[in-house]
Structure 1
C-alpha cells in the first residue's frame, strides 16, 4: 500500500495533463481503493497518506474547474472518494485522523461545488456517480463520531441541500443518510437544528420521503419530533401531504411504549395551538367549493388524543382549558350538523349503509377522537371537569353513545 501511495504522490507532483497520465493515476487509485477494503490495510493509513489524497483532490478540482481532461479527471476524483469511503468503514482511528484534517473537508466541499457547476452544463451521469461517492464518504466518516458529525454539518450542509436539485434518487437517499447521521446524534444542539440550512434540509428530506418512502428520512423525521420548537419553524414551509407524513411518524412514535425520548412538549403545544386557531376549517366539510382541507387539523386532533393519554408526559396540553373549550365547541357543532340530515357528520347505525362509508375521508372517526380527547383531558383534572360541566359537555358526550359506523369503537371512548 505504501508503494502505491508513493506512486500516487509522484504522479501528482508531475501535474498530469494527458489522457495517458490521468489513466495511470486512475489505475493507482483503483489499487488503493481495493487496499482499503482490508481492515489491516485501513489500520496502516498515515497522516502523510491522507495529505497525498488531499493534494490529488486539489489537482482534480483544478482540472474540472479549468476543463482539463474533465472526464479523466472526474474518474480519478471518483476513485479518490471511493478510497476515502472505504478507509472509514468501522475504523475509528481513521475517523479521528480525518478530524485533524479539516482542509480535506474543505477540498471536498470545493469538489462538490466544481462538480455541480460542471453538471449544470454537461448533465454527465459520471458526475452524479462522483457526487454519490463523496456523500457516501461523508456518511462513513461521520457514523458514530460526534466531532466529525458537527464538522461535516458545519462545512457541507449548504452544498448537501443543493444535491436535491439534481433529482437523482440514490444521491438524495445518501444525502438523507448523512443528514440523519449528523444531526440525529445531536438532539441537544439547538443551534445546529434551527439554522436556516438545517430547516431547508428538513423540508427537502420530508419532501423526498413523501415521494419515495425513504427510510433514512423517516428516521430523521422521528428525531425532528423530539427537538424543541422545531415544528414552528418547519411546518410553515410544508405542504399538507408533507405535514401528514410527519404526523403519521409522530403517531407511530406516540403509540410505542417505553420510548427513550418522547416527542417534544413544545411541538405538541404547537399542534394544540394550531387546532385552537384552525378547527373551524372542519365545519367547511359540508360547504361546496372549499379550498381549505381539514385533513391536517383532523390528524392533529388524533395526535392530541393519543398524547393526552400519556397523562404525566404532556401536562401543559392536558390542562389547556382553551383547547378543551375548542374541542367541546367543535364536537357540539358537528353533532348539531349531523342531526340536520344525511351528511358527513350524520350517524350511520344501519348495517346496510356501512358499505357506503368512506373510511379515507377526513371526517371518519372524528367524533370518536374528539370524545377521546375530552375524556383524557378530564382525567384527574378538576378544573377541566368543572369546565366540561359548565359547557354542558357531559350530555353532549353521552349523546355520542349510539352505534355509529363513521365512528367505530366510540362507545369505548365515552
Structure 2
C-alpha cells in the first residue's frame, strides 16, 4: 500500500471510530458498531506495515475508549491492538503511549484487587503481553513499568492461571534483563517475598522465571544476597535450580563457586546427624544440595579451575567421605550400603550424598597432583575403592568411583601402587577395574593399576 493510500485508509478508519464513539454517546448500550471497527483494526495490526504506522489520532481514540465504562470486550480489543503494535512508534507519540501504558497498569491493578476476576482473565493476559512487548522494544521504560507493577508482581507470578503466571514472568525477566539497578534492588530484604515467588515460579518450570534466575547467577554478589535473604525452604528450591542450570551456564560468575564451596564447608557436618534420623532434615538437605552443585559443576573448566587449589574443600570432602563410610559400616543406618540396584530406600538427606562426594573428589583430583597426594595421605583411597560396589542409596556410585580412581592414578605412581596393593587384598576385584577401563597388570612384585588412556574428569 502506498503512503497516500495508507493515509486515506487511516483517515477513513479514524472517521469510523469517531462515528462509533458518537453513536455510543447516543446509544450507550450499542457497542457492536465500534467493536466491529476495533476487531477489524486488530486483524490489520497483525501485519507489521500497519502496526508500525498507526497514527497518533487512532491511539488517542483507543485511549478515549478504554477510559470509558464500555465493558470488557471493547477494552480487550483495544488492548489487543496495543499488544500487536508493540509500541513500535513510541518515539513519535510518547505522551499518548505513556498514557496508554498508565491506563493498562491501572486496569491490571484493578484486576488484581478483585476477588473473582474470572471475566477479566483474558484481558489481564493481553495487557501483560502488551507490557512485555513494549519492554522488548523500549528498554528505557523498564523503570517506569517496574514502579507501576512492582507491588503486584508477586501475586501475578503466583496466579492460578498459567498464562497470567507465564506472561508476568516474561515482564519480570525483561525488567531485570534491562536494568542492573533493579536486579540489585530485588536482592534486598524488602523484596524477599517477590524473589521467593520468582524462585518458586522457576522451580515450577516457568521458562522466563528460569531465565531471570540465570541473570542472578552471572553476578556473585546478587546471587549470594538473594540466597542469604531467603527462608530455608526457598533456599533449597534455589539450589535445586542452580544445580539444574550450572553445568550449562557458561556465564556463571566464578566467585559463586567460592561461595558454594564456603557454604558447603560450613554446613557439611550437618549430614552426619541424619545417620539414624528418619526425618527430612532441611538443614542437612542444604548440604546435600550444595555438594550436588559442586560435584556437577566441577567437571566444567571454569569451576574446576576455581576449585583446583581449594585445599579446605578437598579436606572437608575427604573427611566427610571417611566419616560416612565409617558410620555406614558401624551398623544398619542411613549410611549403610544397600548392595542391590533395586533395594528399597526411603527419602532421606543422605540419598546420593556419598556418590556426589566421590564425584567431587574425582573432579578435584583431575590433573591435580596436589589433590591426588592429599587423598592418599588422608587415607581416602580405601573408602573410594569400597565405593565401587553397588548401593541403592547412591545410584551410579560404582561408575563415579572408578572414574575418580582413574584420575587418582593419572601420572601418580604412588597412588597406583597403593591401589594395586589394595586390589591384591581383595578390597576391589581386578575384573571390575578392567571392565570400567583400568589396566590391571601382574608382575613379580604384585599387581599394579593404571588408566588405560589419558585421564578424564567424571
TM interval, shorter chain, is 0.7 to 0.9
Match of 1:45 among 47, 54, 75: 54
Contact 1:142 1:182 (C-alpha < 8 Å) held by counterparts:
yes
**Greater alpha carbon shift after TM alignment, 326-335 vs 376-385:** 376-385
Count of matched residue pairs: 386
**Which has the greater radius of gyration?**
2
For structure 1, which segment, 15-24 or 400-409, has the greater mean C-alpha deviation from structure 2 after superposition? Answer: 15-24
Q: Is structure 2 residue 380 aligned with structure 1 residue 363?
A: no
> 1:221: how far off?
3.1
Residues 285 and 55 of structure 1: CA distance in aligned 2, closer, same or farther (over 3 Å):
same
Relative to the length of structure 2, the TM-score reads 0.71
CA distance in 2, matches of 1:411, 1:20: 78
Indicate how the Cα distance of structure 1 residues 302 and 286 shifts in structure 2: closer, same or farther if over 3 A, else same: same
Q: Decide which of 117, 124, 132 is 1:131's aligned counterpart.
A: 124
Q: Deviations over 1:302-323 (max 9, x none)?
A: 2102222234446444433332
* Larger relative helix fraction: 1
**Compared CA separation, residues 94 and 359, structure 1 to 2 (3 A):** farther
Q: 1:140 to 1:324 in 2, by over 3 A?
A: same
| 1:398 positional shift | 4.6
Kindly indicate whether residue 287 of structure 2 is the aligned counterpart of residue 300 of structure 1. no
How far 1:199 sits from its partner (Å)? 5.7
Residues 291 and 366 (structure 1), Cα distance of their counterparts in 2 relative to 1, 3 Å cut? closer
Q: Is the 8 A contact 2:38 2:77 kept in 1?
A: yes
What residue is the counterpart of 1:217 in the other structure?
209
Whether 2:253 is the aligned partner of 1:255: answer: no
Deviation of the 1:131 alpha carbon: 1.1
Q: Which residue of 2 aligns with 1:107?
A: 103
Aligned to 1:195: 185
Distance in 2 between the 1:36 and 1:368 partners? 57
- Does residue 2 (structure 1) correspond to residue 11 (structure 2)? The answer is yes
Query: How far has the Cα of 1:134 moved from its partner?
Result: 0.5
SS in 2 for 1:195: helix
Secondary structure at 1:288's aligned position in 2?
A: coil
Give structure 2 stretches of 5+ with no counterpart.
1-9, 406-458
TM (norm. structure 1) is: 0.78
Distance (whole Å) between structure 1 residues aligned to residue 91 and residue 52 of structure 2: 12
- How well do the aligned residues superpose, as a CA RMSD in angstroms? 3.5
C-alpha deviation, 1:328, in angstroms: 1.9
Structure 1 residues 393 and 9: CA distance shift in structure 2, 3 A: farther
Per the TM alignment, residue 9 of structure 1 is displaced from its structure 2 partner at its CA by 4.9
User: Any gaps of 5 or more consecutive residues in structure 1?
Assistant: 64-71
Shift of 1:6: 4.0
Query: Where does residue 82 of structure 1 map in the other structure?
Result: 80
